Structure 1
Amino acid sequence: MTMAMRRLLAPFSRPAPALFALLAIAQAIFSWRLTTPHTLVFDEVHYVPAARMLLALSGPVNIEHPLLGKTLIAAGMLVFGDNPLGWRALSTLAGTAIVGGVFAIVWLMTRRTRAAAVAGLLTIVNFVVLVQARIAMLDGFMAAFVVLAVAAMAWAMRGDAGQSRWRWTLGAVLLGLAVGTKWAAVPYLGYAAIGFVLLKRGDPSRWPGLRWWSAWGLLGLAASLAYAATFAPAFFYASEPMTLARLIPFQLDMYARQTQILPPHAYQSAWWSWPVIGRPIWYFYEVADGAQRGVFLLGNPAVMWGGLVAVAACALGWLRTREVRLGVAAALWIGGFAIWAIIPKSLGFYYYYFLPAIWLSVALAVAIDRWRGWLRDWDEVYLVAAISLFVYFYPILTAGALGGPRAFLRWAWFVDWR
C-alpha cells in the first residue's frame, strides 16, 4: 500500500470512527446543492402532490403504493416547507442510512473495518445511491429500510437469547416498514425466513434462543403490525377515510393498480438489461435555474460491471469452500435481482435495480477482502477508478450547470444512454 493511501485510510482503522466519517461524507455529498433544480424532477410529479394531500389529510391519492414513503416526504415538507429542500431532505437521510447499513452488514460478515469501509465508500460512489438520495421518490426509503433490516438480522446472530430476539424483531419491523413504502420489498420477507433456516442449520449457535418457528412467528407478526401501522394517516382523511373493514380490500385495489397493463414508455427496459446498464434514465434534462442541467440515473460502471465479477467470484468461491460470507454476498444480489424476472409488472425501469445495485458493494467488499493477497495493490487501483468515475459523472448526477443542450453527449457513452 502506498504511503498516500495509508494516510487516506488512517481514519478508517477502527469501526466507529470509520462509520461516522463515512456517514458525514455521505450526508455532505448527498445534501450539496440539494435544492437544484427548483422544480419537480421525474416521479416527484407524483409523490410530492401525494405528500401534499397527506399533509392536508384530504383523501386517498396515488393509491398504487403504500403510504409510508409519501408520509416521509410530507414530514420533510412539514419541517422545511413545501419547497425543494422539504421535498428531498429526508431522502438524503435515507441515502446516508443505506451507507451505514452496508458498512454494518460487511463488518458483521468479515469483522474487518477495512472491508466495511470499502463497502461504504463504494456505496457512496455508486451513482444510483447518490441520485436516489437527492430526489423525492419512494425507492430510497424502501432501500434504506431493507438494508437496515438485513443489518439488524445479521446483528441478531450474535449476543444472548434476549438480544437475538429483539434484534431479529427490529429487523422484522424494518422489513414491514419497507413493504409499507413499496411492495418491491415483499420478497425480502421470504428471503429472511429462508436465510434463517439455512444459516441456523449450518451453525445452530446463530440466533441463540430462536427456533425456526419462533423466528418466523416474530417475522410475520412484527412485519405485519409495522406494515398496518403505516396506513394510520388514512384513517383521518377528510374524504373516504380508511376503516379496519376496508384495510384488506384496499390491498386488493393496490394490487390491481400495481399489475395493470401500462402503455409503452420511452425509458422502459427489460430486467435482464439492468446489470449491464442497458437503459439508464434521464430524470431531468432542461434549462433550469439559469443553466442547462441534467440528472442522469445510471450506475457507476466500475461498481456495476466490477460488481458482477465480484458476485461470480463469491458464488464460485462458496461452491468450492462453503464460506458463509461468500455465499451470503452472492445470494443478496442474486435474490434481489432474479425476483424481477417473475414480479408481475407490465413495464420495467432501470431504477427497479436500485437494491441489487446496492448489494454489489457488499459483494465487491467481501471479494476484495477474501482475495486481497492475490489482488496485491490492484484493489486500491480499482477504488481510485471508481472514485474517479464518480467525480467525472458528478455534474450530470446532481443537476450541475452544463455547457449547452448537447452537453449530455460527453457522458452518454452508448446510444441507449441518450
Structure 2
Amino acid sequence: MDILLQAIRPTLIFPILLLAALFLLFGSYWRWILSPHNLHDRIRRQSGEVLPSPAKPRFSFAGRCHPLERRDGLLILLLTLVYAATAFFQLGSFTNPQSFHNFTETQTVEVEFSQPFQLTRLMYYPGLGTGDYNVEISADGSHWSTLWARENEEGTVTGYYWADAEGYEPSYAMPQHYADLFKWLEITPENTLEVRFLRITAKSTKSPIELGELALYDTSGNLVCPDQPGEASALFDEGDTVPESPSWYNSTYFDEIYHARTAYEHIRGIYPYEISHPPLGKLILGIGIRLFGMTPFGWRFMGTLFGVLMLPLLYAFLKNLFGKTPVAFCGTALFAFDFMHLTQTRIATIDTYGVFFILAMYYFMYRYLTIPAGTPFRKGAPWLFLSGLFWGIGAASKWTVIYGGVGLALLYFLGLWFKLRDWPKVEAGETPPVFRNLWLIQTLAFSVLCFVVIPACIYTLSYWPYAAAKGDTSLGNLIHEMWKNQEYMLTYHQGVHDTHPYSSRWYQWIVDGRPILYYLDYTSVPGSKSAFASFSNPVVCWDGLLAVVSLIVHCIRRRCGKALFIVVAYFSQLAPWFFIGRTTFEYHYFPSILFLCFALAYVYNDLFEMGLPWMRKSVYALTGTAVALYAAFYPVLIGLMVPRWYTSNLLQWLPSWPI
C-alpha cells in the first residue's frame, strides 16, 4: 500500500485534468463534425420524402491560397518577437577562449610563478584534438609531484591527488577526450601542495591537440597566472573568460560535442571528426561561429535563428491553408511555445535546419498543388523549383528530410493525378485549354531537374570541405568523398544499438512518454537544480494526436485534400521510425510535431466554422494553456537554476519525465 501511495504522485492531477478537458472537447467535436454525414438520412426519414443521396466528394488539392492581411503582419511580428526573446535569453557565453596552444607529441611546456602558492583547484578548456596531459608541479624546480587519477574497480575516475614523480612514468591523468572538447573541465585534487613551477606534457591520440586556457586557484579562490608565461602564453592569456564553474552555458553538452566541433573543423580546413550526417547543417551552424567566435553563443546562434524564422513561414502556411487569422495565430503559437521547438533550436545540432527545410519544401509544394487544373506550366514552375530547392538543401543537412521527401513525392504524384483528372474539357466553340500532354511532359521534365538534378548537385557540393581538407577539390574526388561518406553513414546508423538511459521508441514519443535529459546539475546550489530535457508541450502532443486521428477520419469520410496533405506529411516523418531498430530518442519526433500543429489548426478551423461561441473560446483556452505551460516549464527547457521542490511538485507530471 505504501508503495502504491508513493507511486501516485500529486502532479498526476495536472495531466488527468488536461486529458479530461481534451477528451471532452474532442467528444463534442466528433459528435458535431464527424456525425453530420447521417443528417441526410435523418431528414429523409422524418419527411418521408425520398431525396437523392449527396454526391460523394472527390479528393483534390486545388483551392484558394488565402493571402496575408495587415493584421497578420502585426500578429506575426508579435509572435516572433516574443518567442525570439525567450529563445535567445541566456543562450550561451560570448567569451570562451579563442586562442589555443597547439601541443606537439610529448612537448613539455614549463612556467614559473613570481610567488609560491597553494594550488587547490584547476580548470582547463580543451580545443581540438584528443589525448591526455601529464601535469607536474614543484616548489623549488628540483622535486616534482605529478597529478594522478584515483580509479575504482570498474576503472572510473573517482578523484585526483598529487604524488611524487620521482622514479615513475608520466601519469597523463588530465584527460582531453572526444567528449571533453570545448567545455570547461575542473579538477580538485585531494591534497594541496605549494607551487612555484608547473609543467605540462601532452600525449596525443588525434592531432592537433590544443588547449585553450589553464586556470589555477590558490587557497583564497584567486586565479593565479605566471608573470612571464613565455611559449605557454596562450594558456594564460584569457583569464577573463574563465567561469566560476563549468555548465551548459559556457561549455558544449550532448551532441554539441560533435556538431559544433565539426563546424569549427570545417572553418579551419580540418577533415571532420563527425561524419555521420551530411555536411550542410554543420556548414550553416558554422556561420554563427564565424560571426561570434567559437563560443557557446556562436555555435548555438544559427539554430536558434532558424527556430525563430520557422514562425513567419508557418503562419503564412496556415493562413494560406485555412484563411482564418485566429486559426493561423493559434496554430503558430502552439508550435512557437512547444517545448521541443525551444530546446532543439537552442542546442547546436542539425535537427533545426532539417525541420525548417521540411516546412519550406511542403509550403512551396502546397502552393503548387492548389493551382487549378489547366493552369499553364509557367505559373506552377516557380513553386516546383522552390520546393525542390529546399528539399535538396534539407537533404544535404540531415537524412530525416529525405523521409519527408517520400511524403512530398507522394503528394506531388497525387496532385498530378488530380490535375489530369480535373483537366478542363473543351466545349464546342471554345478556345482549347493548355494542351494537357505538353503540360505533363514539361512538368515531369522540370520536376526531374528540381527534385533530382539540383538536389544531387547541392548534396555533392556540400562535401567540398571534405575534399578541400584532403587537398583535392576535383570533381572526381568530390564525388568520391561524397559516395564514401554515404556508405559510412548507412553502416554507422545501422550499427547504433548502444543502450542509453533516455532512449525511447516512436510509440513513447507520441504520448510524451520518455523525454531525453540533456543536462542535469543538482550539486552547485544546495536545494536547487539546473536541468533541461527535450519533450513536447502536453497540449501539442496529446491534443495533436487526437487531431491526427480526426484527420484520418476526414480523409475517409470527407475526402478532404487538406486533411490528406497533413496526414501524409505527418506520417512521412513518423512512419520510417516504425521500422528503424537503432537506438532512438524523443527528439527524433521533432519534425512530426510540426505537423501536429497543422492537424490542430485543421480542427480549430472546424471549431470556428461550427459557429458556437463556446467552441471558439475552447480554441483560445487551449492555446492559452499551451502558453501557460511553456512559461511554467521554461526553467527546465533552458537550464535555469530553480528550487527542487518546484520541479518535483509542479513539473514532473509523469514518473518517466526526468525533470
Whole-angstrom CA distance in 2 between matches of 1:86 and 1:289: 26
TM-score with structure 1 setting the length:
0.89
Q: Show CA shifts across 1:372-398 (max 9, x none).
A: 225242111111111111111111111
Is 1:310–2:542 an aligned residue pair?
A: no
Report the residue type matching 1:265 in the other structure.
Answer: H
How do 1:106-125 and structure 2 match up within 5 A? 106-125=318-337
Corresponding residue of 1:51: 263
- Residues 392 and 160 from structure 1, CA distance in 2 versus in 1: closer, same or farther, beyond 3 angstroms? farther
How do 1:191-340 and structure 2 match up within 5 A? 191-204=407-420, 213-214=444-445, 216-217=447-448, 218-238=450-470, 243-286=478-521, 292-340=529-577
- Residues 287 and 78 from structure 1, CA distance in 2 versus in 1: closer, same or farther, beyond 3 angstroms? farther
Whole-angstrom CA distance in 1 between matches of 2:308 and 2:532: 19
Secondary structure of 1:252's counterpart equals helix
Is 1:351–2:351 an aligned residue pair?
A: no
Corresponding residue of 1:29: 86
Corresponding residue of 1:416: 656
- Given that residues 315 and 330 in structure 1 are in contact (C-alpha distance below 8 angstroms), is that contact kept between their aligned partners in structure 2? yes
- Given that residues 461 and 478 in structure 2 are in contact (C-alpha distance below 8 angstroms), is that contact kept between their aligned partners in structure 1? no
Q: Of the candidates 628, 652, 657, which is equivalent to residue 388 of structure 1?
A: 628
Is 1:162–2:378 an aligned residue pair?
A: yes
Corresponding residue of 2:26: none
Corresponding residue of 2:77: 20
- Given that residues 127 and 298 in structure 1 are in contact (C-alpha distance below 8 angstroms), is that contact kept between their aligned partners in structure 2? yes
Corresponding residue of 1:5: none
- Residues 282 and 245 from structure 1, CA distance in 2 versus in 1: closer, same or farther, beyond 3 angstroms? closer
- Given that residues 73 and 136 in structure 1 are in contact (C-alpha distance below 8 angstroms), is that contact kept between their aligned partners in structure 2? yes
Choose between structure 1 and 2: higher strand proportion. Answer: 2
- Given that residues 65 and 181 in structure 1 are in contact (C-alpha distance below 8 angstroms), is that contact kept between their aligned partners in structure 2? yes
Choose between structure 1 and 2: higher helix proportion. Answer: 1
TM-score with structure 2 setting the length:
0.58
Q: Of the candidates 590, 593, 596, which is equivalent to residue 360 of structure 1?
A: 596
Corresponding residue of 2:356: 144
Secondary structure of 1:415's counterpart equals coil
Secondary structure of 1:133's counterpart equals helix
- Which one has a bigger Cα radius of gyration? 2
Deviation at 1:342, TM superposition (A): 2.1
- Residues 192 and 17 from structure 1, CA distance in 2 versus in 1: closer, same or farther, beyond 3 angstroms? same
- Between the two proteins, the alignment pairs up a number of residues equal to 405
How do 1:127-138 and structure 2 match up within 5 A? 127-138=339-350
- Given that residues 280 and 350 in structure 1 are in contact (C-alpha distance below 8 angstroms), is that contact kept between their aligned partners in structure 2? yes
- Residues 190 and 178 from structure 1, CA distance in 2 versus in 1: closer, same or farther, beyond 3 angstroms? same
Deviation at 1:364, TM superposition (A): 0.3
Q: Of the candidates 187, 193, 210, which is equivalent to residue 403 of structure 2?
A: 187
Deviation at 1:300, TM superposition (A): 0.3
Whole-angstrom CA distance in 1 between matches of 2:586 and 2:304: 20
- Residues 47 and 246 from structure 1, CA distance in 2 versus in 1: closer, same or farther, beyond 3 angstroms? closer
C-alpha RMSD of matched pairs (Å): 2.5
- Given that residues 143 and 354 in structure 1 are in contact (C-alpha distance below 8 angstroms), is that contact kept between their aligned partners in structure 2? yes
Corresponding residue of 1:8: none
Report the residue type matching 1:15 in the other structure.
Answer: D
Whole-angstrom CA distance in 2 between matches of 1:80 and 1:244: 32
Whole-angstrom CA distance in 2 between matches of 1:132 and 1:173: 24
Q: Show CA shifts across 1:108-157 (max 9, x none).
A: 22223322222211111111101111110110111111111111222234
Q: Which runs of 5+ in 1 are unaligned?
A: 1-10
Whole-angstrom CA distance in 1 between matches of 2:361 and 2:278: 19
- Given that residues 95 and 129 in structure 1 are in contact (C-alpha distance below 8 angstroms), is that contact kept between their aligned partners in structure 2? yes
- Given that residues 37 and 288 in structure 1 are in contact (C-alpha distance below 8 angstroms), is that contact kept between their aligned partners in structure 2? no
Secondary structure of 2:531's counterpart equals strand
Deviation at 1:14, TM superposition (A): 3.4
